[in-house]
A and B are shown apart, each in its own frame.
Chain A
């Protein structure tokens, strides 16, 4: 498993159908993306479960602003 921030941003971006890849940075406020919805959140939870083998809660997604914020939550769990 590649636990780098770059790999996480790429994994995150690949869950989106319409948003161009260049719009995804570690600093991207993902909930402000036009394509973001509560349904995208489920897709992200599934990606994190499959790729990183850890579980995200709804609050952890709601409390994260940027992709990096979410990455930190995931990595803390991976290392936990």
Chain B
């Protein structure tokens, strides 16, 4: 059972960055008009931000990191850990966290780690960075979490392309004696490894002469083997089962009272899935913020982006207790309960 108590670590601040370019789903000409209207209604995703050819995940995370460092007035030499969580790194190798450590002007006395994780990545990242900080050896750390999934979706695949938007985030955590515990759990089920997958380009199935062959899978679902595959039905069943389950497990394991939690922030998959999860936990919509309409599914970035977009004012006004829940590629899922008090939330950066 992977339950975690992270002691003496404070959520100090957060910044999120998105590309300026907006794409409206209603304007997509490659799909049947009636079908796209239904899709928008069901998923709640009206528009998305696209990184295009120039911007990468690390560019977005870099801007977010600069924003949160400035907001907190942190000295860069005090930052001793950089954890980068993404499915869309700069290169297969080296790790993007090393590149960001240098680009941000952080000292070489800094541990830099990449984590390959998507929709549950924010939870993975908080647990990992929390473990690094709680011993007090490292005083300040950055959790850089983001994705540019639009780059890996085939524009002719209605099961992926209209769903995903791009974003990068930076969350600052610091060692603080006596900070309220961060509570977490994390789960993995690799039997569902192929429910969300890019088949070619790794070392199990290297990029080859057939990788770029155009395949028509179903009407409105066309792609190559270097594009993202999403088995929507299986992922839906997974999400509506595991997300409420791990939130309930977290509350039971640590005897948390649901009514004492101000907000529940879920990975933003799609409106129908998120509404189903919310109803299973008998939560009212006002306690479960959403950014699906304007940003779509931003993979690992969706939880911090939703905090930036919907909770900045509440965090500026009063201490909050929140539960975060991520679920997706792996398959993997998990939840975090934490206090957010005197945290510096930067305005959304657009680049």
B60 on the interface (CB 8 Å rule)?
Answer: no
Contact with B along A2-45 (1 / 0, CB 8 A): 00000000000000000000000000000000000111011101
- How far does the alpha carbon of A38 sit from the alpha carbon of B218 in the complex, in Å? 11
Main DSSP-derived SS at the B contact region: helix
Main DSSP-derived SS at the A contact region: helix
- How far does the alpha carbon of A38 sit from the alpha carbon of B241 in the complex, in Å? 19
Contact B38 A57 (CB under 8 A): no
Contact A42 B234 (CB under 8 A): no
Cβ of B43 to closest chain A Cβ, rounded Å: 8
Query: B272's contact among A37, A43, A49, A55, by CB below 8 Å, is which?
Result: A43
Residues from chain B with Cβ under 8 Å of A45 in the complex? 233, 236-237, 240
- How far does the alpha carbon of A42 sit from the alpha carbon of B272 in the complex, in Å? 8
| Contact residues, B1-55 vs A (CB, 8 A) | 35, 38-39, 42
B201 on the interface (CB 8 Å rule)?
Answer: no
Give the number of residues in A that approach B within 8 Å (Cβ atoms). Answer: 14
Contact A58 B38 (CB under 8 A): no
Looking across the interface, which residue of chain A has its beta carbon closest to that of B238?
A55
Contact A61 B233 (CB under 8 A): yes
Most buried by B among A39, A45, A58, A61: A39
Contact A38 B237 (CB under 8 A): no
Cβ of A8 to closest chain B Cβ, rounded Å: 18
- How far does the alpha carbon of A58 sit from the alpha carbon of B232 in the complex, in Å? 8
Most buried by B among A37, A41, A49: A37
Query: A58's contact among B39, B234, B272, by CB below 8 Å, is which?
Result: B234
Contact B276 A37 (CB under 8 A): no
Contact A39 B42 (CB under 8 A): yes
Cβ of A55 to closest chain B Cβ, rounded Å: 5
B252 on the interface (CB 8 Å rule)?
Answer: no
Contact with A along B297-337 (1 / 0, CB 8 A): 00000000000000000000000000000000000000000
Query: A38's contact among B159, B240, B273, B276, by CB below 8 Å, is which?
Result: B159
Residues from chain A with Cβ under 8 Å of B236 in the complex? 42, 45-46
Cβ of A15 to closest chain B Cβ, rounded Å: 12
